Structure 1
Amino acid sequence: MDAAAPAIELDGLRRRYGHRLALDGVTLTLAAGQTLVVFGPNGAGKSTLLRVLATLLRPTDGVVRILGEALPERAWIVRGHLGLLTHEPLLYGDLSARENLRFHARLRGVPLQRVDDLLAEVKLERRADEPVHTYSRGMLQRTAACRAVLHDPALLLLDEPRANLDPGAIELLEPLVGRQSGRSRVVTSHDPAAGLAEADLVLGLKDGRTAFLAAPDELTPGAITDLYRT
């Protein structure tokens, strides 16, 4: 793993489902420590892009490098340096937050003290030993964020991480998965104001193709809203 390498390098990325191209020729470079925010309507290819970056889908064509490592050939190395946070919390419902996080800590060789530290950081200590199926949406997301950063990943992949969260939960998550974390990040969003505020690079996808790729201050007025027009 090359610490000086870009977080992400894509050159002509394509991902095909049968005859349909979900991603068609996406090319970009994201420097280490930067945040890429991805906008686009449902079906634009945002989730497919995240799944390719997460090594859950193989690219059909093109070059994909994560932290200097080529996919899919070096996916087994890349996976240990990724943190994934999606709409699904990826937690066992009958286990408590503490049990879920300790399970993942043992899988990754992370000291168990890290679990207690994270639970305290997101203010879940009092209910950390209750089954997560009893949790509110905000509590589930806080637990899932702890899971995503448990192993101190270099790159975070975040699918609308603040959706349906109240301001208090959002504030608690910022040090873990926000810009304050200092990590390289890919964030999908439907919120132009919030997305632009945290982006170093903005990607607009429509029908799997790049509609725009620019720094936030380089975007033309209406560029994001135009994505959502049929």
Structure 2
Amino acid sequence: MSITGTLKQVKHEDRIHTEADATNPTILVHHLSKAFGTLFALKNVNLKIHRGEFLAIFGPNGAGKTTLIRILATLTRPTSGEIFINGYSLNSDSEKIRRQIGVIAHQTYLYDELTAEENLRFYGKMYDVKDLNAKIARIIAEVGLGLRRRDRVRTFSRGMQQRLSIARAMIHDPSILLLDEPYTGLDQHASEMLTEWLKELKSKDRTILMVTHDLDRGIDLADRVAIIHQGKLVFEEERSNIEAKTFREKYYHFVS
């Protein structure tokens, strides 16, 4: 289906405005490719994610998972293709898109010489968060770092940094979450906390895209599952239509 056929569009100064319609995807990826020199990390990827949907994309290392997240997060430019997030074009409205997404990835995007509180205050001001002090106090307690809130991030363990990264991603209450192997480096407490948060956000109509090689967690959380291999989406299905055992068999068939 073409972009025109998928979205109800009105062109205006390079921005795509969409009508408030449940049939319009929150994230629309159309013929996306990304090349590094002659090597393609992504090849002609087409993807739609609707509001409130949790899509888990599975793939081995080097499959293109991180590249996809970085492009959707406006951190990397695509080689070709079109992307619309909440009706905004990635090509012309990246700043508006950033205000609507939260990203949890390998890189924490934290400043080592700032304290936990200072990091959250920096990001909170960048996103114009209201009642910022109260929001910081609440969210830093939720990630279990209340006693370390005035310590510099460089003194934190990897697991503690990942906890603070979760708080950073949530400080502006984004409607869309982009997760790149979010459980990497988390201790058991932080992993359980992240799982409960994701379940709660899912129940509150947030749109979530998680890329991972962790089949168990992804299958448990997702509404829809997909497989990416060698830069291509090779399988996609509603979670309710496929049993976990069958999906695992398909995954290992594609990536082996």
2:232 to 184, 209, 230: 209
Give TM-score scaled by structure 2 length: 0.83
Q: Identify unmatched segments of 5+ residues in structure 1.
A: none
What is the count of residue pairs matched by the alignment? 228
2:250 to 218, 223, 227: 223
- Alignment match, 2:115: 96
CA contact (8 A) 1:174 1:181 kept: no
Q: Distance in 2 between matches of 1:207 and 1:16?
A: 12
1:27 to 22, 46, 50: 46
Give TM-score scaled by structure 1 length: 0.92
**RMSD of aligned residue pairs (Cα, Å):** 1.7
Q: Distance in 2 between matches of 1:50 and 1:128?
A: 29
CA contact (8 A) 2:223 2:240 kept: no
CA contact (8 A) 1:105 1:112 kept: no
Q: Note the alpha carbon deviations across 1:137-181, whole angstroms, 9 max, x for none.
A: 2211110000001011111111111123232112222354x1211
Q: Distance in 2 between matches of 1:72 and 1:175?
A: 34
Of 15-24 and 220-229, the range deviating more from structure 2 = 220-229
Q: Identify unmatched segments of 5+ residues in structure 2.
A: 1-16
| Identity fraction in percent | 37
Of 102-111 and 167-176, the range deviating more from structure 2 = 167-176
CA contact (8 A) 1:93 1:131 kept: yes
Larger Rg: 2
* Residue 145, structure 1, aligned to residue 166, structure 2: yes
Letter in 1 for 2:160: M
Q: Distance in 2 between matches of 1:209 and 1:79?
A: 25
Deviation of the 1:46 alpha carbon: 0.5
Regions of 4+ moved over 3 Å: 1-5, 217-221
Of 77-86 and 166-175, the range deviating more from structure 2 = 166-175
CA contact (8 A) 2:33 2:79 kept: yes
Letter in 2 for 1:130: D
SS in 1 for 2:99: helix
* Residue 179, structure 1, aligned to residue 187, structure 2: no
CA contact (8 A) 1:34 1:185 kept: yes
CA contact (8 A) 2:183 2:191 kept: yes
Deviation of the 1:52 alpha carbon: 1.0
SS in 2 for 1:102: helix
**Map 1:11-90 → 2, pairs under 5 A:** 11-90=30-109
- Alignment match, 1:129: 150
SS in 2 for 1:94: coil
Q: Distance in 1 between matches of 2:140 and 2:173?
A: 15
SS in 2 for 1:112: helix
Q: Distance in 2 between matches of 1:226 and 1:66?
A: 32
Q: Distance in 2 between matches of 1:10 and 1:76?
A: 18
Q: Distance in 2 between matches of 1:147 and 1:69?
A: 23
Letter in 1 for 2:253: D
SS in 1 for 2:60: coil
CA contact (8 A) 1:7 1:66 kept: yes
Deviation of the 1:211 alpha carbon: 1.3
Deviation of the 1:61 alpha carbon: 2.0
